[in-house]
A and B are shown apart, each in its own frame.
Chain A
Amino acid sequence: MKDFILPDDRDMGTPAKLGKPVTLTIDGFEVTVPEGTSVMRAAAEIGISVPKLCASDNLEAFGSCRLCAVEIEGRRGTPASCTTPVAPGMVVDTNSAKVRKIRKGVMELYISDHPLDCLTCAANGDCELQDMAGAVGLRDVRYKAPENGGLANHFTARNSSGEANPEWLPKDDSNPYFSYDPSKCIVCNRCVRACEEVQGTFALTISGRGFDSRVSAGNAGDDFLSSDCVSCGACVQACPTATLQEKSIIEMGTPDRAVVTTCAYCGVGCSFKAEMQGDDLVRMVPYKHGKANRGHSCVKGRFAYGYANHKDRILNPMIRDTIDEPWREVSWDEALSFAATRLRGLQEKHGKQSIGVITSSRCTNEETFLVQKLTRAVFGNNNTDTCARVCHSPTGYGLGQTFGTSAGTQDFDSVEQTDVVIVIGANPTDGHPVFASRLKKRLRAGARLIVIDPRRIDLVKSAHIEAAHHLALTPGTNVAVVTALAHVIVTEGLMDEDFIRTRCDWDEFQLYAEFISDPRHSPEATQLLTGVPAEELRAAARTFARGGNGAIYYGLGVTEHSQGSTTVMGIANLAMLTGNIGRPGVGVNPLRGQNNVQGSCDMGSFPHELPGYRHVKLPEVRAIFENAWGVEIDPEPGLRIPNMLDAAVEGSFKGLYCQGEDILQSDPDTKHVAAGLAAMDCVIVHDLFLNETANYAHVFLPGSTFLEKEGTFTNAERRINRVRKVMAPKNGYADWEVTQLLANAMGAGWSYTHPAQIMAEIAATTPSFAGVTYDLLEEKGSVQWPCNEAHPEGTPLMHVDGFVRGKGRFIVTEYVATDEKTGPRFPLLLTTGRILSQYNVGAQTRRTDNVVWHDGDVLEIHPHDAENRGLKDGDWIRLASRSGETTLKAKVTDRVSPGVVYTTFHHPDTQANVITTDYSDWATNCPEYKVTAVQVSPSNGPTDWQEDYAAQAERSRRILPAAE
């Protein structure tokens, strides 16, 4: 065992159980464990490690390696300790002479079919087979290939006469991140079981039997890349030998230290061990005590970190007078004073309100806090917004109005106790893969699933899971469907009246019940509109209302609509109607898109809210920050992103500091965004790469990766996780330092020396963070806000005894059709989403080997619509809306319904957001990405717009060599 392994990171052999206590004696020590625990785990609890190869505490016991044999008084034989549950009064001997002899014999057989190349093996020092050979004291292997006889092993490519060994299989290097070397396999089944039990993909199997047993990805003839494998890494982690091994380890060797940190991709917020050699990252391994991921990972967090060292990364500050010029590399001092002078100059000329900031949902809480502080305390206005504007702002608003807090109600562990799940407008297997694995595990154990999505996402039907109901609605009709579900629940008397009377406002419920009972909300009345058969919708409503613990998980398919906030309220209504709030297994759970989008909202990134969701117009809230910061805070809300861009086009908004966000690619109606940026006089982009927004920037400040700084991220379950610095920032400064340098260049006089001081300022000013300190995070690993005097250890479940706002509030949800309508010119509805291997605008994942799975956006179109237009799979097509047009390749599939097309927005050369319109949510301006009327027609190649765009991007990315 390597000594960097963190305390309590031991493999206990079999999973923990819950049960009444059972006391037994192992090797003379008494131990008490829950009923159902294995003898192996009970021994591990008192520090006795029974030798094992096929057991791992994230997999159910399998009992195949025969190494963990023990003797139990009064029982015959030598049972496997992994598959033997404890019993009261049991007396176990884990190390009798008899079992030691058995183990040595078993190991001898294993080693007889294993190469003895330990010194040059990639797993040297990190190999359980090696450890076990040592543990049992194996000194000799008596089984040898006969002289001149046939080889009977799997690891020698040729015999001594040079004849090929038919049992030998070559390495499979098809996966870009790990290799499969069959010659080192001991057929313990751990990889196959991890793929099934942990990941839930079932991509692996054991083919053949007996001596012919081999791990096989997919069918005969498949390799790892062509199989169903999603490259989550669970098999690699499970492998006790070098059979499944990270290529980075093969190349670099084993790590010498590990630092626990938090993934910087999606809102699940997985904990990882960053395993290091000096300041080189060797691999990322999911941390089993991470409370969001419980030891699991996906291809992005596990493997796609190569962007941190990509050649495109910019490490020096750059400036230019106009966006037509090439960039000039300059010193930090010059760049910062250039930026500060310009920003101050703009304020003098165009007024205090003429500049603003966009905070990043990828940076830490501390960094976001500083950026909004920059605008409020240094710029003297409230012009701050964040990408949550374009994703989950309706969640904040909708849940704030109904429950009183702008966040999900549960922790991810809650899914283990749910009985019926609604997934609406989310595609967890692609967008939130680790949560999806946890959900699928629960579904395989019997929970039922209702999917509300225009597309047949993987959760609707994939190996061993199948949705009880798939309501394939027409894009844009979420409110009608959610309202119809509530109509069925109320009119059929399926609601939890007791819950409503005690926990919610009964008078408001009366009004709501009257509204919702109106026959115009019935599924029969709305089915023509929504495309969902009334009987199916009624059945789904009954399943949810009567099915036990009901949980709702939703994503951007809910929020990114003109009625996004209304749907969020409708979802809250459903949860309150059925009494599914305030205990494990239930709740309303937004799946947040980016790693710290929850945190960026919490930190006061919105123009109308100070940190902790407190309105800027409230004098008592302003007073807290005015006292802390020694400045006067503008009582008027500032500009939202779309308003900033509108004001820029009008000429009143001239300067923007944009940290870690690529609004040109991610925000809707690209042409309008470009026009707004082009009209500004000082655009400061603070990022890892020259992103699309930087094409319009005057100052580029190089950013740092999550590996290069201290801080915290807050995930979708409100969990504040530590981000730890494992290497020095390659650009010289962590992002919080850069913001501080800019503030100080403008005369702010900040003097933070560590993000812990920023967290102390957050805690001192924001009640829901009052108890959060780095010391507490160190001790607990993570905490879920609110964390304060009332909840010193944080709050896994919200609204347990009562809603934060007092009584839960039912809000009427009238369906209003979007103004974006299909017609003869634009007869199809486009909806957009994500794919597993790519992340958001792709700035990170496009710069990794993840492109082998997805190297360009494609348009999914139903065979019927494709045939009408004479399109075949793989054809170039022109996709046009009222806003613009682009070209991409078609993928003909019945995953989408007729009349609906779907694409992703990961690639700037496609620019799906040229197509999307500037319609947005009535309450929060969240753009309506999910519904755009389009036409699709055959095409020969890129549109003029795409060619112009590419030329402009190339021109604007020119960099002059630094002046010596």
Chain B
Amino acid sequence: MAPHATAITIEDVTQIIDAHRALEGPLLPLLHGLQDAFGYIPELAHAPICEALNITRAELHGVISFYHDFRAQPAGHHVLKICRAEACQSMGGNALAEALLAKLGLDWHGTLANGKVTVESVYCLGLCACAPAAMLDDQVVGRVDAAKLDKMLAEAGA
């Protein structure tokens, strides 16, 4: 995931906007580009995006807020997503997740104080056959249990 944005400049943003603005339907690829580069969509990018694509800030807000994956603030260094869809729930996913959150002292979408890990919910990773499932950054893991979660968190430096 993202390098940590110490100081994102308008030049960084402009560069990414310019790389996408000629696409047909440029907004989503552009937002992904920003999030890939910075880990989130910084507010200072809003006005230049609206200017470049000739849309209003309301429209941009509508799109960003529609997709849960787009962030307004940086996440932890690693993001652990735990599936809460039906198959995983039926295999004890909820209890597993709640125990983990209690142990870490977090709520959903919370980040550890040391900034290492953010825990989020996700609704189906397509691993229903291996429920319950989770994903650490870009890696999916099936048949998770408390031990596996602990191991994943340890790897992430929690």
Contact = CB atoms under 8 A, between A and B. Distances in A.
A116 interface: no
Nearest to B58: A205
Given A202-B59, A206-B62, A207-B62, A219 B54 contact: no
Contact of A218 (B58, B66, B68): B58
B55 interface: yes
Contacts of A624: none
B109 interface: no
Contacts of A201: 56
A204 B58 contact: yes
Interface string A683-727: 000000000000000000000000000000000000000000000
Given A208-B66, A209-B66, A219-B46, A203 B56 contact: yes
B55 A219 contact: no
B54 A461 contact: yes
13 contacts: A202-B55, A202-B58, A204-B58, A207-B61, A216-B62, A216-B65, A218-B56, A219-B46, A219-B58, A222-B58, A228-B56, A228-B57, A466-B54
A209 B64 CA distance: 10
A205 B59 contact: yes
B45 interface: no
A319 to B, nearest CB: 54
A656 B55 CA distance: 53
A466 B55 CA distance: 11
Closest 3 CB pairs of A and B: A205-B62, A205-B58, A207-B65
Nearest to B65: A207
A463 B62 contact: no
Contacts of B55: 202, 463-464
B66 A219 contact: no
Given A208-B65, A219-B46, A228 B54 contact: no
B59 A463 contact: yes
Listed residue (B62, B66, B68) with the most chain A CB atoms within 10 angstroms of its CB:
B62
B100 interface: no
B54 A218 contact: no
A204 B60 CA distance: 10
Interface in B49-103: 54-62, 65-66, 68
A207 B55 CA distance: 15
Given A207-B61, A207-B62, A464-B54, 19 more contacts: A204-B58, A205-B62, A206-B66, A208-B65, A209-B65, A209-B66, A216-B61, A216-B65, A217-B58, A218-B58, A219-B46, A219-B57, A220-B61, A228-B58, A461-B54, A462-B54, A463-B54, A463-B56, A463-B59
Interface size class on chain B is 10 to 19
A674 B80 CA distance: 77
Contacts of A207: 61-62, 65-66
Contacts of B54: 461-466
A596 B124 CA distance: 64
Interface of A is mostly: loop
Contacts of B68: 209
Contact of A202 (B46, B56, B65): B56
A152 to B, nearest CB: 17
A209 B65 CA distance: 8
A150 to B, nearest CB: 15
Contacts, number: 55
Listed residue (A201, A204, A219, A463) with the most chain B CB atoms within 10 angstroms of its CB:
A219
A130 interface: no
A227 interface: yes
B139 to A, nearest CB: 26
A481 B130 CA distance: 73
A220 B61 CA distance: 7
A209 B70 CA distance: 13
Contacts of A465: 54
Listed residue (B55, B59, B60) with the most chain A CB atoms within 10 angstroms of its CB:
B59
B66 A216 contact: no
B151 to A, nearest CB: 34
Nearest to A207: B65
B62 to A, nearest CB: 3
Interface of B: 46, 54-62, 65-66, 68
B147 to A, nearest CB: 32
B59 A218 contact: no
Contacts of A463: 54-56, 59
A58 B58 CA distance: 22
A937 to B, nearest CB: 32
A202 B61 CA distance: 12
A220 to B, nearest CB: 6
Nearest to B43: A219
A208 B66 CA distance: 5
Nearest to A465: B54
Contacts of A461: 54
A930 to B, nearest CB: 29
Interface string A322-357: 000000000000000000000000000000000000
Interface in A504-524: none
A758 to B, nearest CB: 48
A203 B58 contact: yes
Interface string A224-256: 000110000000000000000000000000000
Contacts of B58: 202-205, 216-219, 222, 227-228
Interface in A162-220: 201-209, 216-220
Contacts of A464: 54-55
A203 B57 CA distance: 8
Contacts of B57: 218-219, 222, 228
A307 to B, nearest CB: 31
Contacts of A203: 56, 58
B124 to A, nearest CB: 15
Contacts of B46: 219
Contacts of A216: 58, 61-62, 65
Contacts of B62: 205-207, 216
Nearest to B66: A209
B97 to A, nearest CB: 18
A700 B68 CA distance: 65
Contacts of A220: 61, 65
Contacts of A208: 65-66
Contacts of B60: 219
Nearest to A203: B58
Interface in A895-944: none
Nearest to B72: A220
Contacts of B61: 205, 207, 216, 218-220
A815 B69 CA distance: 60
Interface in A379-407: none
Listed residue (A202, A222, A228, A461) with the most chain B CB atoms within 10 angstroms of its CB:
A202
A463 B62 CA distance: 15
A205 B46 CA distance: 15
A461 B60 CA distance: 17
A890 to B, nearest CB: 23
A466 B66 CA distance: 27
A216 B54 CA distance: 19
Contacts of A218: 56-58, 61
Listed residue (A217, A218, A227, A463) with the most chain B CB atoms within 10 angstroms of its CB:
A463
A228 B50 CA distance: 13
A227 B46 CA distance: 14
Nearest to A227: B58
B60 to A, nearest CB: 7
Interface string A262-302: 00000000000000000000000000000000000000000
Nearest to B47: A219
Nearest to A205: B62
Contacts of A219: 46, 57-58, 60-61
A203 B55 CA distance: 10
A784 to B, nearest CB: 36
B65 to A, nearest CB: 4
Nearest to A202: B56
A466 B57 CA distance: 17
